[in-house]
Amino acid sequence: MESLWTGRGRGALAAAMPRWNPFREPSDLQNNNIIAPGNFEGKYRNDSDVEEIVDLAANSLLNKLIRKSLVESPHNVEVLQRDPTSPLYSVKTFVELHLKPELLQGVYAMGFNRPSKIQETALPMMLADPPQNLIAQSQSGTGKTAAFVLAMLSRVDPLKKFPQCICLSPTFELALQTGEVIEQMGKYCEGVKIVYAIRGNRPLKGTYIDAQIIVGTPGTVMDWCFKLKLIHLEHIRVFVLDEADVMIGVQGYTDHSVRVKRAMPENCQMLLFSATFEDTVWCFAERIVPDPNIIKLKKEEMTLDNILQFYDACANREQKLQALCNIYSTFTIAQAIVFCQTRKTAKWLACEMLKDGHMVELLSGELTVTDRAIIIQRFREGREKVLITTNVCARGIDVQQVSVVVNFDLPLNTDGLIDFETYLHRIGRTGRFGKKGIAITLVEKCCVYMLHDIEEHFGINIKRLNTRNVDEIEKFLPKGNL
Ligand SMILES: Nc1ncnc2c1ncn2[C@@H]1O[C@H](COP(=O)(O)OP(=O)(O)OP(=O)(O)O)[C@@H](O)[C@H]1O
């Protein structure tokens, strides 16, 4: 397997995206100014009081960077077949797929012993002859990328020196991550080349792309196809659209993707992947994938049953700070995430807590994804007990051992009303996988009525907790499984 870097070469690209190295020693982390614990003044300069906007592409990359292994799902795969009369079959081993030996070797070299739940059903469909189109949805980390990479590599003819598979990703960094999986899995595939159609990797004019696999972002791929005429699309056999839910958030990307797709042969196999299936994703999927098979893997249901919910009413934010400092002493046996609505409040709170002698870490959206990954990793390892953050951390990011969530601010939408979904996602950071957790919302006295909206919406009861009484708090902290 060869990776083709034209133009400025790989060094420039690698420099543009500092890779996350999970094996960095703590001393390296401490020496790096940007991520040194404490010293929030220096590293967080943009303390905007505008609400933090969740960046789906950044979260998706963050999850990839901090993930250690496959996310196993307890749910069964749901399948909607294009032809319901054709037998549906799934595989329990990679051998049953009759892969080329060098590809099987690559799969095993990655440490994959058996297909994941989504791969069991998706792979036979993706590798079937004649090729079938597929739309697949399952949560992040369940093995989608590995599945479509395997499908591309198994369809490639190494003797033919022209593009045969294209994979579109929503960002430069996500395309690089996918490319890395292709390079790893295809490392024993002689004569197969991959090229990255991403900004900064511009081939010389007049050259012709002889790589069989192209991975890139829709804008650059479109330019290479139509403006620079570097890619001929008439022999493309597999077209993959990855992270469709993130893709539709980037302006113009759905149209670019449709344009590229229209120039491909009609019988080209279309594979579309997404972590969610909202209406917008469906519309896009239906526009671009004719006659699809559809596979869905249910998400882990978020439940509030095992989360005890409390509130305390405070006069102002200084009193809320005091309440948090009182609660802090109970965190010696637990790990907590504290949610603020804006970067400015989060930074203020972190600085005040630190001044008061409490060790906390701050995470907001202004840090690069790599630095965010380092902070989350430290928190996961238990090096920090308390993470103060904004909504950037409310959904999608997995830290399993959190047992206390504090809402320093109520989650509000742009109309100033409770944002129920964000409340659910925030407090869902605790109580994962059936463990017990507690959620404490600190609310200004004038806003206590808003808690009733939450109670009514979720059909729950949020009890008053006296945060001045540490004994009372400890009484409620879940024991035995922290
Ligand atoms: N069959 C398998 N056995 C063991 N590990 C696997 C298998 N398939 C994938 N993995 C590993 O599991 C992790 C998640 O896989 P992958 O990236 O393919 O998931 P994904 O659903 O594409 O996630 P995302 O939506 O974030 O891109 C990766 O570390 C990958 O190497």
Return the ligand 1 atom nearest residue 110 CA: 31
Average pLDDT taken over every residue of the chain: 82
Q: Which of 97, 116, 174 to mutate to test the pocket of ligand 1 (most atoms within 8 A of CB)?
A: 116
DSSP string, 312-379: EEESSHHHHHHHHHHHHGGGGGS-EEEE-SBHHHHHHHHHHHHHTT---EEE-TTS-HHHHHHHHHHH
The string of pLDDT tens digits covering residues 262-304 is 999 999 999 999 988 888 888 888 888 998 999 988 766 666 7
The closest residue, in CA terms, to atom 18 on ligand 1 is 143
In the predicted model, is pLDDT for residue 87 greater than 90?
A: no
- Position 306 confidence tier, pLDDT thresholds 50, 70, 90: confident
Beta-ladder partners of 295: 79, 136
In angstroms, the CA 300 to CA 302 distance is 6
The more confident residue out of 434 and 173 is: 173
Take residue 37 and report the two structure tokens written for it. Answer: 């614990």
- Position 206 confidence tier, pLDDT thresholds 50, 70, 90: confident
Model pLDDT, residue 233: 92
Model pLDDT, residue 398: 64
Model pLDDT, residue 332: 63
End-to-end CA distance of the chain: 46
The β-bridge relationship of strands 336-339 and 404-407 is parallel
Report how far Cα 118 is from the mean position of its chain's Cα atoms: 17
Return the ligand 1 atom nearest residue 181 CA: 31
- Position 31 confidence tier, pLDDT thresholds 50, 70, 90: very low
Determine if ligand 1 sits within 6 Å of the CB of residue 66: no
Compute the distance from residue 163 Cα to the ligand 1 centre, in Å.
Answer: 25
In angstroms, the CA 259 to CA 212 distance is 20
Sheet holding 238-241, edge to edge: 2-4, 193-197, 213-216, 165-168, 238-241, 269-274, 134-137, 293-297, 77-80
- Position 433 confidence tier, pLDDT thresholds 50, 70, 90: low
In the predicted model, is pLDDT for residue 318 greater than 60?
A: yes
Closest by alpha carbon to 273, among 295, 254, 252?
A: 295
Mean local confidence (pLDDT), 131-157: 93
Question: For the ranges 9-18, 102-111, 130-139, 261-270, which has the lowest average pLDDT?
Answer: 9-18
- Position 8 confidence tier, pLDDT thresholds 50, 70, 90: very low
DSSP 3-state assignment of 134? strand
Determine if ligand 1 sits within 6 Å of the CB of residue 70: yes
The string of pLDDT tens digits covering residues 213-262 is 999 999 999 999 998 888 989 999 999 999 888 888 777 888 899 999 99
Residue 444, classified by CB atoms within 10 Å of its CB into exposed (0-12), middle (13-18) or buried (19+), is middle
Report how far Cα 158 is from the mean position of its chain's Cα atoms: 32
Determine if ligand 1 sits within 6 Å of the CB of residue 411: no
The more confident residue out of 71 and 32 is: 71
Prior bond of 22 cis (ω within 30°): no
The closest residue, in CA terms, to atom 14 on ligand 1 is 141
ipTM of the complex: 0.98
Compute the distance from residue 412 Cα to the ligand 1 centre, in Å.
Answer: 34
In angstroms, the CA 95 to CA 471 distance is 59
Q: Which of 104, 142, 182 to mutate to test the pocket of ligand 1 (most atoms within 8 A of CB)?
A: 142
Model pLDDT, residue 406: 92
Determine if ligand 1 sits within 6 Å of the CB of residue 22: no
pTM of the predicted protein model: 0.79
DSSP string, 99-115: --HHHHHHHHHTT--S-
The more confident residue out of 362 and 391 is: 362
Residue 172's H or E segment, with its range, is helix 172-185
